[in-house]
A = this chain, B = another copy of it.
Amino acid sequence: MSKIQHRNLYREVADRTRELIEHGELTPGERISEKQLCETFGVSRTPLREALKVLASEGLVELLPNRGARVMQLTVKMVKDTYDLMGALEGLSGELACQQISDEGIIAICQLHEQMLEHYRKREMQPYFEVNRQIHESILAAANNEVLEEMYNNLSYRVKRVRYSKKMTEAFWRQAVNDHEMMIVALKARDGKRLGQILRDHLCHKLEVVTLAGVIEDDELINAANG
Contact = CB atoms under 8 A, between A and B. Distances in A.
A114 interface: no
A92 B96 contact: no
B155 A147 contact: yes
B84 A146 contact: no
Could you say which of A46, A85, A87 has the most chain B C-beta atoms within 10 Å of its C-beta?
A: A85
A8 interface: yes
Given A50-B50, A53-B54, A151 B92 contact: no
Contacts of A84: 92, 96, 145, 148
Contacts of A78: 146-147
Contact of A81 (B54, B85, B87, B145): B145
Classify chain A's interface size: 20 to 34
A7 B54 CA distance: 17
Contact of A146 (B53, B63, B81, B155): B81
Nearest to A82: B147
Given A49-B50, A88-B89, A66 B6 contact: yes
Interface of A: 6-8, 10, 46, 49-50, 53-54, 56-59, 63, 65-66, 78, 81-82, 84-85, 87-89, 91-92, 96, 145-148, 150-151, 155
